[in-house]
Amino acid sequence: MEMMAAKNSNEEETLAIRDVIKCIFHFTEFTVLRSVIQLGIPDIVENHPGSIVSLAELSNSSGSLPSLLHRVMRFLTRRGIFKEMTMDGQDSSIIGYAHTPYSRALTKDRMAHLFLLMSSPEIVSSKLSFAKVLASNTDYSNGFEAAHGVDLWKYSTANPLFGELFAKGMDCLVGNRLSLVLENYPDMFEGIGCLVDVGGGNGTALRMLVKACPWIVRAINFDLPHVVALSGGGDDGRVEHIGGDMFVDIPCGDAIFIKSVLHDWDDEACVKILKNCKDALSKETGKLIIMDSVVNHDNLKNIDNYEEYHLAADIEMLALTINGKERNAKEWDDVLKSAGFSKHTIKYIPAPISVIEVYL
């Protein structure tokens, strides 16, 4: 029996060491993917006429050394990121590279900017500063401040290139999730003449909404002045970009839309933002539409389990925000009631976030 126990103990230790090494190599994969995105490799494969790119073509187009690129692509194809295929009309020994759904998601018009943001030196150093935040004698409320001396928002203002990357990174999540809202709840925005998007970034969400909802005659993209300055073009005349501070006041509208903003702030700050939203709404028909995480919401348990995502996102809040956090249904109820709203409903979409429809 003692020998058997010793054997089991050795097996457990071996498995534990394997898991630690696997965790370390997750970071290796993370950094390799950042490199291939920076070199434009996912977009080179995406835009290639034959959809299969030889090593020589890939090397030439990306400006990479073929001998080193081969090793990188071997590493990624083994993990199901890109796939190897025999080139058409070529000797069977000539291998090309093609997309998998994973690698296609890393192109610039999909998730590349979010990946570049989350793998940026600014964000990575914030996570490497967790110990300073967790220490009992800490002076820091989050990892970003511990790493850079100022919070994320002040840093973004002072460093426009990072601010632009942050805006583009957040924008990556908008299209898919908003499409799911419109698909699952097509009447969500019905009857809204003037819609205000609080923290709307460069206005991507509003451009989608005015296209899908022609009855929206005025759409206000409201964010910090340096953020709305990045809004660019593409508007059809109904989208207006206004710079300001949501902690001071918010433009008036029939409805207010606020997506993945409130989880950046503690309860006190959320109540302040929500009260300003309430003051800006039409007293007769006004409503607030929130897109954000609802941890362990009952509807989610029956369809998809996003608990791992929510727990990881909560750690991101610890790294990047001033006491921000992911909230469960009870916590959302508390902040909404504290802000003076009378009722709300939480609606499921097949994504890690939910839609909270809030009424005066």
Question: Mind listing the pLDDT tens digit for each residue in 176-197?
Answer: 888 889 988 988 999 899 999 9
In angstroms, how far is CA 14 from the centroid of its own chain? 36
Q: Kindly report the average pLDDT of the chain as a whole number.
A: 88
Is residue 70 annotated as a catalytic residue, yes or no? no
Q: Give residue limits of the domains in the chain.
A: 2-104, 112-167, 173-359
> In terms of pLDDT, which residue wins out, 99 or 349?
99
| Confidence check: pLDDT of 87 > 80 | no
The span from the CA of 354 to the CA of 300, in Å, is 9
Cα pseudo-dihedral 60, 62, 66, 67, rounded to 10: 170
Fold of the domain spanning 2-104: Arc Repressor Mutant, subunit A (1.10.10)
Q: What is the mean pLDDT of residues 37-51?
A: 93
Question: Mind listing the pLDDT tens digit for each residue in 202-214?
Answer: 888 898 899 999 9
Instruction: Residues 173-359: name the CATH superfamily.
Output: Vaccinia Virus protein VP39 (3.40.50.150)
| Confidence check: pLDDT of 8 > 80 | no
| Confidence check: pLDDT of 112 > 70 | yes
Element (H, E) at 15: helix 2-38
Give percent of the chain with pLDDT exceeding 90.
56
Confidence bin at 7 (pLDDT 50/70/90): low
pTM for the whole structure? 0.84
| Confidence check: pLDDT of 225 > 80 | yes
Tokens representing 199 are: 């923290």
> In terms of pLDDT, which residue wins out, 297 or 174?
174
Tell which phi-psi region holds residue 18, choosing left (phi > 0), alpha (psi between -120 and 50) or beta.
alpha
In angstroms, how far is CA 57 from the centroid of its own chain? 32
CB atoms within 10 A of CB 96: 22
Q: What is the mean pLDDT of residues 43-72?
A: 93
Catalytic residue among 113, 263, 297, 310: 263
